[in-house]
Amino acid sequence: MKPFLKWAGNKYRIVEQIKKTLPPGGRLIEPFVGAAAVFLNTHYEKYLLADLNADLISLYFFLQKEGDSFVRDCQSFFSSENNNEKKFYEIRDLFNTTEDKRLKSLLFVYLNKHGFNGLCRYNARGKFNVPWGKYKKPYFPEKEMQYFHCHAQNVLFECADFEKIMHSACVGDVIYCDPPYVPLSETARFTSYTGCVFGVEQQLKLASLAEMLQNKGISVVVSNHDTDFTRKIYAKAEILQFQVRRFISCDGDNRIKVPELLALF
């Protein structure tokens, strides 16, 4: 099942490769859940799904709790009257000012489908600042949201950093980490979907935690770009390397192959 959100780094296209790497276990933990493609296409008994993006986790919580009624309320924003530049920015302003968490979650879905290229980006003040996407008729993911609701009944959602989540793991858990990737070039540094930077220090900390958990008998799988740096910090892991086609900007006909890896600790 495809995720119902557009998301940078969405793992749906390589989810089968990830599934082959994930060991069996009683609970899957995802400290960087994002669009939740791995969760949606696996069948562990329990899940702990976390992210630092509070708006994302709040959305998942309301969808898990309410199901069809929440889906219907989300759909009410998908109308021709709301699909224009003026209305988009009015709704974006409402999203950035409301204190109603449920309303904000409804608007998050609208902004995700109507905003440029499905980006989720915040400025330094924590305000969502993605521009209007100019789509003729944005797709409303009704069946994908309903599937998410049904699949999420044995899930604990948490808004927390990866260190806290990984330290909570027990023997029998499996951890899948999809952190912001190490850049392939100096110009490829988009890491601001939560308003926080995920730099070298965080990459090293994640690798160190994966090693620590490996020594405790807890399996950890990490996705990242295949670079000299990631090969070095994942030296204690088994590496699976492959090529992934990436879209350049929003041009669907302009694609290149990028080296990625899965590191199994």
- Nearest Cα neighbor of 83 from 40, 155, 132 is 132
Q: Which amino acid is at 15?
A: V
Q: Which residues contact 65 (CB under 8 A, 6 or more apart)?
A: none
Segment 35-59 mean pLDDT = 98
Q: Give the CATH fold of the 55-153 domain.
A: Adenine-specific Methyltransferase; domain 2 (1.10.1020)
In tens, the pLDDT along 128-152 reads 999 999 999 999 999 999 999 999 9
User: Are the CB atoms for 3 and 10 separated by under 8 Å?
Assistant: yes
pLDDT at 196 exceeding the cut of 80: no
How far apart are the C-alpha atoms of 234 and 253, rounded to whole Å? Answer: 34
Segment 21-33 mean pLDDT = 97
Count of CB atoms within 10 A of residue 196's CB?
14
Domains 12-52+160-264 and 55-153 share a fold: no
DSSP helix/strand/coil, 252: strand
Q: Which CATH number fits domain 12-52+160-264: 2.40.37.10, 3.40.50.150, 3.40.50.20, 3.40.50.720?
A: 3.40.50.150
The rounded mean pLDDT for the chain is 93
> In the structure, what pLDDT confidence band is assigned to residue 198 with cuts at 50, 70 and 90?
confident
Residue that is written with structure tokens 């276990």 in the block:
25
Give, in order, the Cα–Cα distances in Å from 236 to each of 109, 178, 206, 252.
Answer: 40, 18, 13, 37
Domain boundaries defined on the chain: 12-52+160-264, 55-153
Which pTM value belongs to this model?
0.92
Q: What is the pLDDT of residue 253?
A: 54
